Each structure stands twice: as structure tokens, then as C-alpha cells.
């Protein structure tokens, strides 16, 4: 290529990896974790990926804040089912239509909470507030 980069590695999905000379193909039918898909690039480069996993440790200040919020909400020692109904907003792209319907989130969260005798925590960032509100307001018929 004109930039003089000898090895250009990346994901090749539906022909979008045309500029790569080392391609990690994606099978759109096979459901896999996003981290595993991106590790395919390392594998295509011949790099070992044993004992690699996605790990994003929370900031210590965020943990303190979570504990404060849980205390303020009178959370119990029951299992906490974390539900993030937002998403679809990323740097360079917004695709709200990728969000799962709020009534399905509500129904699933209720079923999991019942099965585990747990409590539900709806989480997200500022751009997720409408999705969180929609889950809270989901019709009771979806919660049976």
C-alpha cells in the first residue's frame, strides 16, 4: 500500500476487510463473544491467545459510588441482576435500533430475578436514560 505498511491485519466481514493482507474472517452465522472475534486477528497474525479474556476492572472510585447507591436504595444481600438496556451509541456511530425491546428486557429481568430470588438493578449512562425509563414502564403483561 501507499503508506508502506507491510502487514495490515483486521476483521474481514462481508468483504469489508479488502485493505487487509492478513484477514480474520467472521462467520456471521456463528454467535461468538466480541472479544473472541477480535482475538481472531491475533490468531491470524500467529500470536498465542491462550489465557486471554476480556477484563475491564472498575475504577475504585466507581466501586465506592456503587456501594453508596446500593445502600441508599436499601439493596439487600440477595443476588443483584444487572440489566443494561441501553447501548447502540458508540464513537462514530449511533444505532438505537440495535437495542432489544424494553418489554423483553423487563420480562427477562423479572424471570431471572424470580428464578434467583434476586433484585434488579438497571444500569447505564446518560444516553441510556430513555431505555432505562422504558424498561421501568414496560407493561405488566410482559412481566408474567
10-residue averages of pLDDT along the chain (144 residues)? 80 86 89 90 95 88 91 88 87 82 92 93 91 89 52
The pLDDT, as a whole number, for residue 135 is 95
**Total number of domains in the chain:** 2
Dist. CA 91–CA 89, nearest whole Å: 7
What's the domain range around 32?
A: 1-56
Please check whether residues 44 and 85 belong to one and the same domain.
Answer: no
Contact present, 135 and 105 (Cβ < 8 Å): yes
Q: Are residues 38 and 72 in the same domain?
A: no
pLDDT of residue 99: 86
CA separation for the pair 7, 143 (Å, rounded): 52
Per-residue confidence (pLDDT) for residue 10, from 0 to 100: 93
73 lies in the same domain as 118: yes
Residues 64 and 134 in one domain: yes
Is 1 found in the same domain as 51?
A: yes
Q: What pLDDT score does 109 carry?
A: 92
Amino acid at each position: 500500500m501507499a503508506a508502506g505498511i507491510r502487514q495490515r491485519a483486521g476483521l474481514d466481514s462481508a468483504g469489508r476487510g479488502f485493505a487487509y493482507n492478513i484477514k480474520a474472517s467472521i462467520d456471521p452465522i456463528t454467535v461468538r463473544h466480541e472479544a473472541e472475534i477480535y482475538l481472531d486477528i491475533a490468531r491470524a497474525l500467529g500470536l498465542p491467545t491462550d489465557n486471554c479474556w476480556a477484563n475491564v476492572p472498575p475504577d475504585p472510585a466507581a466501586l465506592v459510588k456503587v456501594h453508596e447507591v446500593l445502600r441508599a436504595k436499601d439493596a439487600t444481600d440477595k443476588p443483584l441482576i444487572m440489566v443494561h438496556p441501553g447501548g447502540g451509541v458508540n464513537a462514530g456511530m449511533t444505532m438505537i435500533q440495535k437495542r432489544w425491546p424494553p418489554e423483553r428486557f423487563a420480562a427477562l429481568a423479572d424471570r431471572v430475578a424470580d428464578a434467583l430470588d434476586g433484585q434488579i438493578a438497571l444500569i447505564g449512562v446518560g444516553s441510556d436514560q430513555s431505555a432505562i425509563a422504558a424498561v421501568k414502564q414496560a407493561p405488566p403483561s410482559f412481566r408474567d
